[in-house]
């Protein structure tokens, strides 16, 4: 698999975040630290796929995952970019559903 510098940086940041986060208390409706780490891994995979995708601006889209439900927010340049982001997220292993709250800039 080919990684460019930007992808490697995103993955390194996400990995270090997961290490730090795994020591934190469980939040919201998650019952175990394992579930929290699983959600963080899903978020990381989605963001990495956004970085690799030419159709999505990874910097403009925020990703949050809770119990396998992914929430996308931020801004897209077109409806096509918004739809593409949701499709990419849905294809990641561990995603149960996607809530697409991305706003399309006029």
User: pLDDT (tens digit, 9 = 90+) per residue, 35-83?
Assistant: 778 899 999 999 999 999 999 999 999 999 999 999 999 999 999 999 9
Distance CA 26, CA 75 (A): 29
Per the structure, how many domains does the chain have?
1
Contact 58, 52 (CB under 8 A): no
Q: What's the domain range around 21?
A: 5-104
Look at residue 106 in the predicted model and tell me its pLDDT.
Answer: 79
DSSP lists the bridge partners of residue 100 as: 72
Rounded to two decimals, the pTM is 0.70
* Three-state DSSP class for residue 64: strand
Give the C-alpha separation, 90 to 59, whole Å: 19
């Amino acid at each position: 698999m080919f990684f460019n510098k930007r992808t490697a940086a995103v993955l390194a940041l996400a990995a270090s975040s997961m290490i730090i986060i795994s020591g934190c208390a469980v939040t919201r409706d998650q019952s175990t630290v394992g579930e929290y780490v699983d959600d963080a891994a899903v978020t990381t995979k989605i963001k990495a796929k956004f970085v690799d995708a030419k159709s999505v601006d990874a910097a403009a889209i925020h990703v949050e995952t809770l119990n396998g439900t992914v929430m996308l927010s931020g801004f897209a340049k077109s409806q096509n970019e918004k739809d593409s982001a949701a499709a990419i997220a849905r294809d990641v292993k561990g995603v149960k559903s996607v809530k697409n709250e991305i706003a399309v800039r006029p």
